[in-house]
Amino acid sequence: MTILRLDDEGYTAHREGLAALLRATVAAGGAVGFLHPLSQGEALAFWDAHARGLAADTLALFVALEDGAVAGTVSLDRGLPPNQPHRGDVCKMMVDPARRRRGIAARLLDALEAEARRRALSLLVLDTRTGDAAQDLYARAGFVAVGEIPGYALDPDGAALHGTTVMYRRL
């Protein structure tokens, strides 16, 4: 497995794989902001909008590649207000449902943290569906839960609302 930080050219090369990962994550019940079914066009449109931060250098987009396929991703978003130059948002952490529980997410977080330190950031912030395995992953990585917002978003099947837990980590 290889972890890459994508630039514009790398994004273009892995765009379809990122869209496939997003669709697989949503289909498996991942709470990443979308409802199932998610079309290829919607997935590509999301990634195209998200990747605009690459050119502005407000986004660091990482992918885990395994056998040439996108196995996971995470982003460090620094497109924040001027009074927050010290922090970054961890967003869109996804691992291919068929490749979970193999350390991919932990390696992606390590790459994100190294980038945050390189940029002299001192605080990382994220939110995750309350009670998900991802919440435990973040806690093992040193993130601290601040609290829960109940009824935050619909589950990907649209059947029920779930809470989100806000977490942070000082670097």
pLDDT value, residue 34: 98
Give CA–CA dist 18/95, Å, rounded.
10
End-to-end alpha carbon distance in the chain: 26
Q: What is the mean pLDDT of residues 30-56?
A: 97
What pLDDT shows up at residue 15? 98
Please indicate, yes or no, whether the overall pTM of this predicted structure exceeds 0.75. Answer: yes
Identify the band that residue 67 occupies on the pLDDT scale cut at 50, 70 and 90.
Answer: very high
What is the reported pLDDT for 26? 98
Helix-strand-coil percent breakdown of the chain, rounded to 5? 35, 35, 30
Q: 68 burial class (0-12, 13-18, 19+ CB within 10 angstroms)? A: exposed
* Domains and their CATH numbers in the chain: 2-121 (3.40.630.30)
Contacts of 10 (CB under 8 A, 6+ apart): 4, 63
pLDDT at position 86 is: 98
Pick the closest to residue 145 from 124, 166, 171 (CA basis): 166
Position 28 scores a pLDDT of 97
The separation between CA 8 and the C-alpha centre of its own chain, rounded to angstroms, equals: 18
pLDDT in tens, 113-167: 999 999 999 999 999 999 999 999 999 999 999 999 999 999 999 999 999 999 9
